[in-house]
Structure 1
Amino acid sequence: MKRVNEYKKLFNVEKDIDLKQLKTSYRNLVKEWHPDKFQETDEMHAEAEIKSKQIIDGYHFLVSIAPETKAANLEEYIITTSEAGIADFQHKGNLLEISFTDGTTYEYFGVNKPLFQKFVNSDRQFRFAKRNIFTSFLYRKSKKDLALQEA
């Protein structure tokens, strides 16, 4: 959730993500921090490169969790979380990454360690996740999955 809040703060997004507002904010930030504007010193140029990469990453991240994006991909998500089994999972901080048997991978934000322990110790992990994780937490399709689809 820290990452979500950082990116929302960067793009001045209050609560819900409006794609039109996000796109406008993104374009303005890219213009402001484009590395070509900072040719005077190497320090400023390097800082602008880092900031522009952060802006690009933040934009793609916020688009992936926007309500409009989630609504467009809801049918696919429902099929995956109801029909495909869990192939693998990883937990780091409050991020749970679940890979499904159909090849898709989703990231769930805000899954704390006690809930993860219950998930791991559950005799029916898929059933536990279906009841306690899939519908309760902010999620997005993982970059890993998107990279595999493009290849």
Structure 2
Amino acid sequence: MKRVNEYKKLFNVEKEIDLKQLKTAYRNLVKEWHPDKFQEGDEKREEAEIMSRQIIDGYHFLVSIAPETKAANLEEYTKTINESGIADFQHKGNVLEVSFLDGTTYEYFGVNKALYIKLINSDRQFRFAKRTIFNSFLYRKSKKDTAMQPA
């Protein structure tokens, strides 16, 4: 959630993410922090390069968790969590990354270590995740279909 809040603060987003407002804020920030505005060798240019990368990453991240994006991809997400099993998962900080057998990978934000341990110890991990994680936490698709092939 720290990452979400950082990016929301960067783009001055209060509650819900509106894609039109986000795009306007993105364009303004890119204009303000574009490295080409600064002279070669200027220390501000290096700062601008870092900021511009952060702006681009933040924009793509916020678009991926926006309600409009989630609504557009809801059918695909529902199919994945209902029909595809879990291939692999890993937990870092409060982010649970789940790779599914259909090749998609989703990140779930706010999943604490205690819940992750319950998932690991569950005898039916997919069922546990489906009931307690998949529809309860903020999520985003983090990797495009990599089409996992059976060995």
TM-score scaled by length of structure 1? 0.94
The superposition leaves residues 98-136 of structure 1 with CA deviations (integer Å, 9 ceiling, x where unpaired) of 000000000000000000000000000000000000000
Q: Which runs of 5+ in 2 are unaligned?
A: none
What is the Cα deviation at residue 38 of structure 1?
1.1
The aligned counterpart of 2:39 is 39
Structure 2 SS opposite 1:96: strand
Matched, 1:84 2:106: no
- CA contact under 8 A between 2:95 and 2:111: conserved in structure 1? yes
State the number of aligned residues: 147
The superposition leaves residues 4-58 of structure 1 with CA deviations (integer Å, 9 ceiling, x where unpaired) of 0000000000000000000000000000000011116431111100000000000
Distance in 1, matches of 2:145 and 2:132, equals 28
Q: Which runs of 4+ in 1 moved over 6 A?
A: none
Distance in 2, matches of 1:93 and 1:59, equals 22
**Match runs of 1:45-56 below 5 Å:** 45-56=45-56
Distance in 2, matches of 1:94 and 1:8, equals 18
Distance in 1, matches of 2:2 and 2:145, equals 24
The aligned counterpart of 2:11 is 11
The aligned counterpart of 2:144 is 146
Q: Which runs of 5+ in 1 are unaligned?
A: none
TM-score scaled by length of structure 2? 0.94
The aligned counterpart of 2:123 is 123
| Structure with the higher fraction of residues in helix conformation | 1
Question: What amino acid maps onto 2:144 in structure 1?
Answer: L
The aligned counterpart of 2:135 is 135
